[in-house]
Amino acid sequence: MTAPRRPHVMLVILFLLVIGCSAGAVRTTSPPHGAAGPGSPAASSFPVEPAVPPAEIPGLGPQTRSRIPASARQAVVVTGQGPDSNRSTVVLYSREDSARGWRPGAGPWPAHNGMEGWTDHHLANDLRSPVGVFGLTDAGGLLPDPGSLLPYDQESRFAVSGEGFLGEPLEGSFDHVIAINYNRTPGTSPLDRTRPLGEERGGGIWIHVDHDGPTQACVSVTEDRMRELLLTLDPAKYPVIVMGDAASLAR
């Protein structure tokens, strides 16, 4: 004869049945209507933003751009109106973030260049400014240093007198100057006359104060712009000047 089950045994069996059913149940959640689930076509069709290349300096062709050192983070760009024109435009660019590239920082400013325009092969007294990319490492002038970041040589020998090609007075043109590293030794006063390429290739080419007329071969800007360059160009950013007529720079 089978003994009757005790009440507490029945309760244990009932509890196990309930737990077993609960453990075996799996709750699933479906994405709301129209939502993309993992692996669905909609999940893999989100638009991808294309990579934006670093900005380049407008008007410069691949040959000119290749001459700008990778270390340069400031560039004074002088664009002549034509190969035989003595009028040009200056814009200062900076490259603080290599991913973003070059950005304009100041300008455009009106400027003068050599009386006869531009040349790829500058010679002494040809009255043409050299086309190319050159370092800017040294400054100076007749007047005291206004706070130049470049090494500055104040010297009485920067005094100049006489008249320019249009009869304009030259006095004050060299109150402030920045030497352009064409046929010169970087790290010396703009007055230094060492000519690594030889005397016949000219030299003493500067950015200086404009005298309202064309230059021998230099680039000239107004006095306030000259001071702005002196206060902005930083040797730690390896500044360069990119100069030439528009067609030459576009190569």
Question: Which of 98, 119, 141, 106 minimizes the C-alpha distance to 202?
Answer: 119
pLDDT tens digit sequence for 232-241: 999 999 999 9
Mean pLDDT of 157-180: 98
Quick: pLDDT tens for 112-129.
999 999 999 999 999 999
Task: Give the confidence band of 26 by pLDDT, cuts at 50, 70, 90.
Answer: very low
Q: How confident is the model at residue 99 (pLDDT cuts 50, 70, 90)?
A: confident
Q: What is the domain partition of the chain in residue ranges?
A: 73-249
pLDDT in tens, 199-220: 999 999 999 999 999 999 999 9
CA distances from 94 to 62, 125, 172 (A): 18, 33, 29
In this structure, are residues 240 and 134 in contact, taking their beta carbons and an 8 Å threshold?
A: yes
Residues 6+ apart with CB under 8 A from 52: none
Average pLDDT score, the chain: 87
Distances in Å between the Cα of 207 and the Cα atoms of 35, 128, 154, 204 are 64, 14, 16, 10
Is the per-residue pLDDT at 163 higher than 70? Answer: yes
Q: Summarize the confidence of residues 136-148 as an average pLDDT.
A: 98
pTM for the whole structure: 0.80
Instruction: Specify the higher pLDDT residue, 44 or 221.
Output: 221
Predicted pLDDT of residue 11? 39
Span 136-151, average pLDDT: 98
* Cβ-contact 69, 240 below 8 angstroms: yes
Question: Which of 6-10, 21-25, 85-89, 179-183 is the least confident region?
Answer: 21-25
> Which CATH entry fits the domain spanning 73-249: 2.40.440, 2.70.70, 3.40.50, 1.10.600?
2.40.440
The pLDDT of 38-63, averaged and rounded, is 75
Q: Which pLDDT score is estimated for 46?
A: 59
Q: Which residues contact 131 (CB under 8 A, 6 or more apart)?
A: 118, 119, 120, 243, 244, 245, 248, 249
The answer to whether residue 7 scores a pLDDT higher than 80 is no
Q: How far is CA 180 from CA 140, 194, 204, in A?
A: 12, 13, 8
